[in-house]
């Protein structure tokens, strides 16, 4: 089997709207490495877009899925429930931030989790409005796109979008947007666009994913909480990408002294299996009427089994601590390279949710072409990197937290070579 043959078949059989980064096809994967159908090896610093924090095919996850496979694969939880769903909800309730009674509902995708968080917020408040932020990404469903603060490629040609969704700028000190600017913009929305008494929720990512790995400043999160409390608005933290040890904590909101009312999760929750969830204050989670939440595959038993294994692995292998250790190693290397790679304008991120932003040397003007060059050269050397940011000038690093130190060091060596070569032109 050849990659070129599969590429031709893909182009003939699948629509161009499903964008695909690589022109080679996976045959197998193990921990932080994968091999294509022609036997070439790649170091995976994408991890399925932050899905494989516990690596590809972790033995404990594989064993958990196999064990469940021998019992049953589907009953639809809403028809015939099963204990593992309840037990996982209990575990999430216990681990999620906030010293108050919590409840959790499971779904299938991150977009579903976001949609249901909005549904719950509207049911709890009786209000329609939602405020989101520029650069935010919340999914590809119609509500997800409405909330998302990035047009290309997510919104082009798909409107009109659901109403009563408003956007404010997300703090970005590198590009001149302060916390005060963001809060002032929300207050202006309240004056010019929507009565705060019509707003059900404010949704934000503690660290923006597709938007460029910009972390929400602590004073911004506190200000959001204060605004929400003042106006009876619910605060939703979208932890679809930030959750499950990626930032050095199980959830990124643990870095703050603020607790959200609702929190979404997905991606690494089930180590490669499709599973998402919403956790929140018990009284708010109970706002939806029976039957108002759910989905045919929501809380699939194979995915639930994988999620139990993921939580055990995070604890047993101390992945929160390892995220910080690996992230510090990467940041130190990138900072050291700034002297020889003047296009590096910023290195940022908590734990192992690290990004490097490239701008034209000596300016804050995004350098999209240089970023693409780095990604391309890295791929030629067998290192998978993902680009993000509204201007496409940020490389984000999403290596498995279980990555072998030798493989990690190899990848950092490739990255250093690629950055220096790209800087020379």
Q: Which residue has the tokens 């976001």?
A: 114
Which of 415, 397, 408, 56 is closest to 207 using CA atoms?
397
Determine which of 28-37, 146-155, 222-231, 318-327 has the lowest per-residue pLDDT on average: 146-155
At 314 the pLDDT is: 98
Determine which of 26-35, 304-313, 416-425 has the lowest per-residue pLDDT on average: 416-425
Confidence of residue 286 (pLDDT cuts 50, 70, 90): very high
At 194 the pLDDT is: 98
* C-alpha dist (Å) from residue 129 to 160, 188, 201, 275, 367: 16, 15, 7, 27, 36
Relative orientation angle of helices 405-424 and 319-337, to the nearest 10 degrees: 20
Average pLDDT over residues 63-74: 98
pLDDT digits (tens, 9 = 90+) for 2-47: 999 999 999 999 999 999 999 999 999 999 999 999 999 999 999 9
User: In angstroms, rounded to a whole number, what is the distance separating the alpha carbons of residues 118 and 116?
Assistant: 5
Structure tokens at 73: 């694969």
Q: Which residue has the tokens 């908590």?
A: 350
User: Whole-number mean pLDDT of the chain?
Assistant: 97
pLDDT digits (tens, 9 = 90+) for 122-178: 999 999 999 999 999 999 999 999 999 989 899 999 999 999 999 999 999 888 999
pLDDT at 424 over 90: no
Please give the share of the chain, as a percent, with pLDDT higher than 90.
96
pLDDT at 263 over 80: yes
Q: Which residue has the tokens 């706002």?
A: 287
At 190 the pLDDT is: 98
Give me the domains of the chain, ranges plus CATH numbers.
3-57+318-424 (3.90.1150.10), 62-316 (3.40.640.10)
Average pLDDT over residues 344-372: 96
Round to the nearest angstrom and report the end-to-end CA distance of the chain: 36
User: In angstroms, rounded to a whole number, what is the distance separating the alpha carbons of residues 201 and 220?
Assistant: 16
């Amino acid at each position: 089997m050849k990659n070129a043959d599969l590429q031709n078949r893909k182009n003939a059989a699948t629509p161009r709207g499903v964008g695909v980064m690589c022109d080679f096809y996976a045959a197998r994967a193990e921990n932080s490495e994968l091999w294509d159908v022609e036997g070439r090896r790649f170091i995976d610093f994408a991890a399925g877009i932050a899905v494989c924090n516990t690596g590809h095919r972790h033995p404990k996850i594989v064993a958990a899925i196999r064990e469940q496979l021998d019992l049953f694969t589907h009953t639809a939880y809403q028809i015939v429930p099963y204990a593992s769903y309840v037990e996982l909800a209990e575990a999430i309730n216990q681990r999620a931030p906030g010293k108050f009674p919590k409840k959790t509902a499971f779904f299938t995708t991150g977009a579903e989790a976001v949609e249901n968080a909005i549904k719950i917020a509207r049911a709890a408040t009786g209000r329609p409005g939602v405020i989101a932020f520029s650069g935010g990404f919340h999914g590809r469903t119609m509500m997800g796109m409405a909330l998302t603060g990035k047009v290309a490629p997510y919104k082009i040609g798909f409107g009109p979008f659901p109403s009563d969704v408003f956007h404010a700028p997300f703090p970005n000190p590198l590009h001149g947007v302060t916390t005060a600017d963001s809060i002032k913009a929300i207050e202006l929305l309240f004056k010019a666009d929507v009565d705060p008494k019509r707003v059900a929720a404010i949704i934000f990512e503690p660290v923006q994913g597709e938007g460029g790995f910009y972390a929400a400043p602590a004073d911004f999160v506190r200000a959001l909480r204060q605004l929400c409390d003042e106006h009876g608005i619910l605060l939703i933290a979208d932890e679809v990408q930030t959750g499950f040890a990626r930032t050095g904590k199980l959830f990124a909101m643990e870095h703050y002294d603020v607790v959200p009312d609702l929190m979404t999760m997905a991606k690494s929750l089930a180590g490669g299996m499709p599973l998402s969830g919403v956790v929140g204050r018990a009284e708010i989670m109970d706002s939806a009427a029976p039957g108002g939440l759910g989905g045919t595959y929501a809380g699939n038993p194979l995915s639930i089994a994988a999620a139990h294994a993921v939580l055990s692995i995070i604890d047993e292998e101390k992945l929160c601590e390892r995220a910080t250790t690996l992230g510090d190693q990467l940041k130190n290397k990138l900072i050291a390279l700034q002297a020889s790679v003047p296009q590096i304008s910023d290195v940022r991120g908590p734990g192992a949710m690290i990004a490097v932003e490239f701008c034209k040397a000596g300016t804050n003007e995004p350098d999209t072409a240089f970023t693409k060059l780095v990604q391309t050269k890295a791929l030629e050397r067998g290192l998978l990197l993902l680009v993000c940011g509204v201007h496409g000038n940020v490389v984000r690093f999403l290596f498995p937290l279980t990555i072998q130190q030798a493989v990690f060091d190899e990848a950092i060596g490739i990255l250093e070579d690629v950055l220096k070569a790209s800087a020379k032109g």
